[in-house]
Structure 1
Amino acid sequence: MSYWAAVGVVVSSAARLRSDQRAVRDLIPRRKYALSDLEFRRIGKDADRVFNSMHYLRNARRGSLNFALVDKQTGTPVTMCSASPLEWRRVADVLRSQFDVPRAAAWDLSRVYSFDGAPANAVSHLLAQVRKYFRQQGDVELLTTVVDPNLGFTGVSYRASNWQQWMTVRARPYLYYKGKYMSLREMWAEFPSVRRIDDLCAVDRKATRSQVELKDSLIFCCRIRGATERVTSEAQQRILR
């Protein structure tokens, strides 16, 4: 990439960030919080607004339950996540065959976001509260989530909450449409007849895909009741897309 092409990306990204921040200006914390300033709640559209504007995927997962640590005084969410029934069939197959967890008993933690004003341990505390919530519901056995090391994520907050890495998933290339990232769900919604990223790129010049070799995604899991067992790297299955 040339210098001026890189400058163009920086300027465009900065303008987009300012626009995203304006969309949730009333929700952005104005101060630093201690954990004692926050309480756990289920929340609604405020989380969707944040995920649609500030999360790196920029789209809230439909049909999710949203949870947050909120300001006790104002109810403003500071750290939040969403969870929904597990839809990923290949992950569900491994959970059933290797860990005896039926698909209907597994939920996926699909979005996590924390504002700058949140305390350092806010995400791990939120994860513990979400686990407690599902334990009280009685019908969920396991929580799962995907960690993408290509974006710099390591899963440290999950490890701090006693989640364990149980499997890996072969990386799928990133899709960009009109120069902006597009998730696979967005692609399927926008182009119902297309199933593969390469197929869209072949028929639409506005679609491009990443070319660099990507690291596998990591699947972390947490049992709702009891300890979550560790799985050695040798015993972890690698799921193919």
Structure 2
Amino acid sequence: MTDRKGQLAANLAKVEDRIASACAAAGRRRDEVTLVVVTKTYPASDVRMLAELGVRQVAENRDQDAAPKAAQCADLPLTWHFVGQLQTNKVRSVVSYSDVVQSVDRLKLVEAMSRQAEAAGREVGCLIQVALDAHERERGARGGVAPGGIEELAASIADAPGLWLGGLMTVAPLTGPYAGRERAAFERLMEFSTALRSAHPAANMVSAGMSADLEHAVAAGATHVRVGTAVLGVRPGTG
């Protein structure tokens, strides 16, 4: 256990150095960027160690793993983010423990989340997941709404009881015009964020960048980076 905590501490320090360096290079303050540690596939014991090391924001992408883990860690001062594609039949569970859902991409999901948040007496933050590889399709290959759907979805969230509009999220596309062009992709997301804030000034969260590309996200202006592997190591079963 001690060795694991030491490993996590060392990894966190390296990630912190990367974020700080990226902020300095971009002329940004370090406190402008929030680290969200993606703890998917890792046990609650790791989450506890991370909390002891000062981590306050964690993310999960599968409800069947996240729900019991969140319950086991309910005593910790953590903000829980849900970052996976969310099916409506999982909404009730996800809304019960998630403080922020970063993968909101359709009106039907907003309606279901609003109902469940109201029933649970909770206020859940929503980030609209934007599919930069959507082209003319309704949704991208990795989930998300096409850029043309942002405005309608934002208005729906802003008007929905039990929900609040936080901003935008994206995953660097693997296909399409932004494949291999993470910086350009994240800069495009920032353009959408600027447009969104003209109508919804408080929706200033921009979640972009992961272990491999967080520097590009910070340079583009992201407010949140989602880092898993660089903190927790290569996930079990992935080599």
Is the structural similarity TM-score above 0.5? no
Which of the two has higher C-alpha Rg?
1
More strand by percentage: 1
TM normalised by structure 1 equals 0.29
